[in-house]
A and B are shown apart, each in its own frame.
Chain A
Amino acid sequence: MKKNNSGFILAEAIIVSTLALTVLVVLYTQFNKINRNYNITFSYNSVENIYAANNFKMYLLKSGYDNLVSALESMPERYLDIKSCPIEYLSENSHCKNLVDVISAKNIFFTNADIMDLKKEIENKTEISFEMKEFIKSISRNVNDDQYRLIIEFNDGSFATILI
């Protein structure tokens, strides 16, 4: 009886299948990454949000900026959460709360312009959302010691940051 030598052995079939599947999985995950980054670009630093952040900056410069700077420099944390318009730092507290409401801010952080320390500090903070951490990680470093930064998370899941 003549042996039929056409076809593949099981090992060959498995190896090819594994290779093909691996390539597909890598392709799919990379494509998902591109898709996610594409959506993210629309939610970071849009024109609307930059102007909203600028409005808050204008308010801070008139009503409590020096207090915030002193407080930040004396604290161990590298950021101040000022969304609730803390009265110990910010005057015209009612105006501040109205402004936060009008610009639809969910979180407002006041921090140094150089956020390298902040990036390390927030890694294990559970009170900060994953999306906020991702946004902070995406901010480029500014080594100017004299400047400070506002980081705002809005209710619609978008973000903005502005130097003061």
Chain B
Amino acid sequence: MNKKGFTLVELLSSIVFVSLIAFVLIEIVMSLKNLYDTSGLKTELLNKQGIISNKINSTLLTNSVVLVQRCGNECIDFTMSDNSVIKLEIDIKNNIISFGDYKTELNQNSQFGQIRINNILSTFSHPTKFDGILNIKIPIKSNNFEDKDFGINIVYQYNSNYTTINID
């Protein structure tokens, strides 16, 4: 009788064992590949979001804003107490945002949406406390992360005795 070869049980158990190892390894490799593909893009988008947000927020926090008004569809002028004007502008076609002297462009896989501005004024009035909230949303969408918004959400609290919002 030919005694070379494997028994059926040996074959089956080997196949099951190898399949299990292959499955686990494939899971790990697929996750790694996904991480590799997305992490670079995600990091870049979040960095951009952070830099733009920091630029706008820090300027608004350190300066006294007396007037906020639209200067176009995707343009807002901030007039400070020293009469200087800082323009926030989105060039949707070229994917560029500018705020004062600062300008940056998004990569080709992401795009700006339209600026959404909301001004909420409370019913009370006080000489020093905040009674208004200006909310400016600048959406940033990416083709690689369809369900996520990497946009900017600017929240500016003000006292209506000192700051006028004219965004209609």
Q: Which residues of A contact B (CB under 8 A)?
A: 4, 13, 17, 20-21, 24-25, 27-28, 31, 35, 38, 42, 46-48, 51-52, 54-55, 58-59, 62-63, 91-92, 94-95, 98-99, 102-104
Contact = CB atoms under 8 A, between A and B. Distances in A.
A38 B35 contact: yes
Contact of B155 (A25, A38, A102): A102
Contacts of A102: 118, 120, 133, 135, 155
Residue picked from B35, B122, B152, most chain A C-beta under 10 Å = B122
B42 A20 contact: no
Nearest to B47: A47
Given A35-B31, A59-B130, A99-B155, A24 B123 contact: no
Given A4-B3, A92-B131, A98 B28 contact: no
A45 to B, nearest CB: 11
Nearest to A4: B3
Contact of A92 (B21, B39, B124): B124
Contacts, number: 84
B28 A51 contact: no
A89 to B, nearest CB: 15
Contacts of A24: 21, 24-25
Contacts of B123: 94
- Decide if the interface of chain B is mainly helix, strand, loop or mixed: helix
Nearest to A13: B13
A28 B21 CA distance: 11
Contacts of A28: 24, 27-28
B100 interface: no
Interface in B65-124: 118, 120, 122-124
Contacts of B135: 102
Given A17-B17, A42-B46, A92 B130 contact: yes
Interface in B1-37: 3, 13, 17, 20-21, 24-25, 27-28, 31, 35
Interface in B125-140: 126, 128-131, 133, 135
Given A35-B35, A42-B42, A55-B155, A95 B133 contact: yes
A46 B50 contact: yes
A18 to B, nearest CB: 11
Given A94-B122, A103-B153, 14 more contacts: A46-B46, A47-B49, A52-B155, A55-B157, A59-B157, A62-B128, A62-B129, A62-B130, A63-B130, A92-B131, A95-B129, A99-B157, A102-B120, A102-B135
A155 to B, nearest CB: 12
